[in-house]
Amino acid sequence: MAELRGSHGDQAHHILTSLFGTPDLHTLSVYESKGGYTALRKALLDMAPADITNEVKTSGLRGRGGAGFATGTKWSFINRDAPGPKYVVVNADESEPGTAKDRYILENCPHMVVEGILIAAYAVGANQAWVYIRGEYDEPSRMLQAAIEEARAKGYVGPKPFGKDFPLDIRLYRGHGAYICGEETALLESLEGKRAQPRSRPPFPAVKGAWGRPTLLNNVETLATVPAIINRGGAEYAKLGTAKNPGTRLLTVSGNVRKPGVYEVEIGKTFRHVIMELAGGPPEGRVVKVFWPGGSSAPVLPGSMLDMTTDAEALAAAKSMGGSGGVIVMDDSHCIVKAAHRLLQFYAHESCGKCTPCRIGQDWAVRTYERILANEGSQVELDILQRVSDGLQNGRCLCGLGDSGGWVIDSTLRHFREEYEDHALRHECRVGTVAPPALRATSPQVGRT
């Protein structure tokens, strides 16, 4: 395995990563020797399902996949006593640009994820869990599969885990290259063998999810946090972080920093701490020009806002969000227009095409950026960008992917209007060190004139 880049080892605030770095932690024996699976045993033998859910509620844990929904509350939406199958579906599709933390967990400690899944399944009354893992994650999926098999051999996955008469099973389903599969209803469609286009809600997955059955959907990191909450107690966990956004979370710091990596951070610390201290700040002689605080979908914040804290409330107040915890840092040697263009290419490429504004708008934005970057821009192009951005946000789209593209345009325009005007009106770039991004090949089926 590659050299670990990020938090590991015992530190006061390390909840997820304190064992990371232990040799062979991915094996069941080492994980168990460090206290692994005690939470599962406790949950199965000493706790009623409702108590588990309450403990998670008490912890104040919020989903780490992007939307930040209260995890305990989500669990309580599943009617445990409803007859027929129910499922836990684990979102391991991690594809948000700038986000690598689920991979980091899966490669270091797959058993922690297995344990969290099993606890969640028991809590909501599901006998089967499906992990939807992105197809490019060959190594993480091998490791997770191996962990499941080890747990199966031990009986933790099986008809009677720890002697409890509650069969538990975990299965893997591999994605095939589509960012939209991270969106929960698109993920469910994909899991059902369909084109991954989000479903219109209601019904919500808790009522009608995978294969039409009640389904709990959680992110890898969310579930990996559960064993710690069961072991320490929700109240203890809630002491970390902020009152409304307790605990720690993994922030993937990437881009123009000296020590990129996945850092476990107590929520509420500042981005200055994360970017300048943990990740070592920008290269020599450079300053942070802009950062994406929560993956490419989170509206950007300018370098002047490094003292912003990492909790959801503070970020919302600054018109951004904690998202997936992917902190992308860009220094002053790079051009914001080119960066925004690259991200819009991403959203256009990944738009599922189901709804009009996203299908057309993301592509329209890309073409407009291309005109601007080819020095063919004018005020017209700037107006188009603003208009497309408005049309992508504000509830126009069926799912969050549409908004995300709009936020990239909107937030970069808001904070860096002058740089846009440089390009569009004056046909110049104040940094100009990055080669113009390669244009993505369009499908052979379509042409453009």
Partner 1 sequence: MSSPNKSALPTHILDEIRELPARYPQPRSAVMPALDLAQEELGHLTPEAMSEVAEALSLDPGYVEGVATFYSLFHHQPIGKHRFYVCTNLSCMLRGANEVVDHLKQAIGVERSDQVSSDGLFSFEEVECLGACEYAPMMRLDHRYFYDLNDQKVDALVAERRGKPVVTAEKPKPKRVPRKKPGG
Partner 2 sequence: MADINLTIDGQKTTVPPGTLIVEAAKTIGIEIPVFCYHHKLDPVGACRLCLVDITPGPPRPQTACTTPVAEGMVVRTQSAMAVQGRADILEFELANHPLDCPVCDKGGECPLQDFTFRHGYPISRIDGPRLHFKKPIPLSDKIALDRERCVLCYRCTRYYDEVAWEQELTTDQRGVQSFITSQFDQPLKSIFSGNIIDLCPVGALTSRVWRFESRPWDMTHTASVCSKCSVGCSVTLWQRRGQLVRVTSHENDDIDEGWICDRGRFDYTDVNDPARLRTPSINGARAAWADAISAVAAGIRGRGARLGVSLPQDITNEEAFLFRRLLDGPLKGARVKMHGRTAIPAPAGDLMRIKEIDDARVIVVVASDLEDDVPIVDLRVKKAVTKRGAKLIVVHPEGVDLDRHPGTVHIRNAKGSAAAEVRKLASHEWLKSPGGPVAILFGDGRGSEDVDELASACGDLAGQVGGREMALYRATNERGALAAGVAGWDKLDGVEALLSWGPPPTAGIPTSAKFVAAWDHLPRVGHDRAVVLPATTFAERQGSYTNLEGTVQFLRPPIPVLPPLKEGWEVLCELGAALGVALDFDGVLAIQRAISLPSPDLEPSPTPVLVGPAHP
Ligand X SMILES: Cc1cc2nc3c(=O)[nH]c(=O)nc-3n(C[C@H](O)[C@H](O)[C@H](O)COP(=O)(O)O)c2cc1C
Six-digit token string for 109? 């400690």
Convert residues 139-178 into a mask of x (bound to ligand X by CB under 6 A) and - (unbound): ----------------------------------------
What amino acid occupies position 147?
A
* Burial class of residue 441, CB neighbours in 10 A (0-12, 13-18, 19+): exposed
# binding residues, partner 1 (CB under 8 A): 70
# binding residues, ligand SF4 (CB under 6 A): 15
| Binds partner 2 (CB under 8 A): choice among 32, 169, 390, 421 | 390
Six-digit token string for 338? 């080119």
Strand 128-133 and strand 169-174: pairing?
parallel
- How many angstroms separate the CA atoms of 184 and 219, rounded? 10
Output the smallest distance, CB 139 to partner 1, in A: 7
Q: Which of residues 333-392 bind partner 1 (CB under 8 A)?
A: 334, 339, 342-343, 346, 349-350, 352
**Per rule CB under 6 A, is residue 109 in the interface with ligand SF4?**
no
- The interface region with partner 1, picked from 8-16, 143-151, 324-332, 389-397 by CB under 8 A, is 324-332
**Residue 302 forms beta bridges with which residues?**
290
- How many angstroms separate the CA atoms of 79 and 125, rounded? 8
Output the smallest distance, CB 401 to partner 2, in A: 10
246-255 burial string, b = 16+ CB within 10 Å, else e?
A: bbbbbbbbbb
Output the smallest distance, CB 351 to partner 2, in A: 4
Convert residues 179-208 into a mask of x (bound to partner 1 by CB under 8 A) and - (unbound): x----------xxxxxxx------------
Of the pair 6, 205, the CB lying nearest partner 1 is at 6
**Per rule CB under 6 A, is residue 123 in the interface with ligand SF4?**
no
- Helix boundaries (H) for 155-289: 184-191, 220-232, 234-238, 271
C-alpha separations of 312 from 55, 127, 446 in Å: 21, 33, 42
Output the smallest distance, CB 404 to partner 2, in A: 14
**Per rule CB under 8 A, is residue 83 in the interface with partner 1?**
no
Of the pair 247, 405, the CB lying nearest ligand SF4 is at 405
Six-digit token string for 335? 């051009």
Q: What is the dihedral of CA 126, 128, 129, 132, to 10 degrees?
A: -130
- The interface region with ligand X, picked from 52-60, 212-220, 362-370, 432-440 by CB under 6 A, is 212-220
Convert residues 182-201 into a mask of x (bound to partner 2 by CB under 8 A) and - (unbound): -------------x----x-
- How many angstroms separate the CA atoms of 97 and 72, rounded? 27
Of the pair 89, 401, the CB lying nearest ligand SF4 is at 401
